[in-house]
Amino acid sequence: MPFDYQQYIVRDPAICGGEPVVRGTRVTVRTVLASLAEGMSAAEILHDFPTLDEAALRAVIAFAAASAEEDLPVPPIPCS
């Protein structure tokens, strides 16, 4: 079963312009993903953003995976 990110990731037009953030923080999903892409470890991210925990990091990754899946085109089923 996929990780349920919905309890961790929220969008509110009054917070960071409506970008997805970790609930209760102003840490955006984009910021966490950029940190991972730059090669930061989970421990380094948690140190830099002490309002996050490991579950929040998993939620960010799960949210990104679900978002990417929604954006991917579905290939047509080949006809026999």
CATH (residue range 5-71): 1.10.10.10
| Residue 41 contacts residue 11 (beta carbons within 8 Å) | no
- This prediction has a pTM of 0.81
Amino acid at 7: Q
In the chain, which ranges are E strands? 9-10, 21-22
Domain boundary assignment for the chain: 5-71
Beta bridge partners of 17: none
| Model pLDDT, residue 1 | 54
Nearest 10 degrees: Cα torsion 27, 30, 32, 35? -130
> For the segment 19-74, what is each residue's pLDDT rounded down to a tens digit?
999 999 999 999 999 999 999 999 999 999 999 999 999 999 999 988 887 665 65
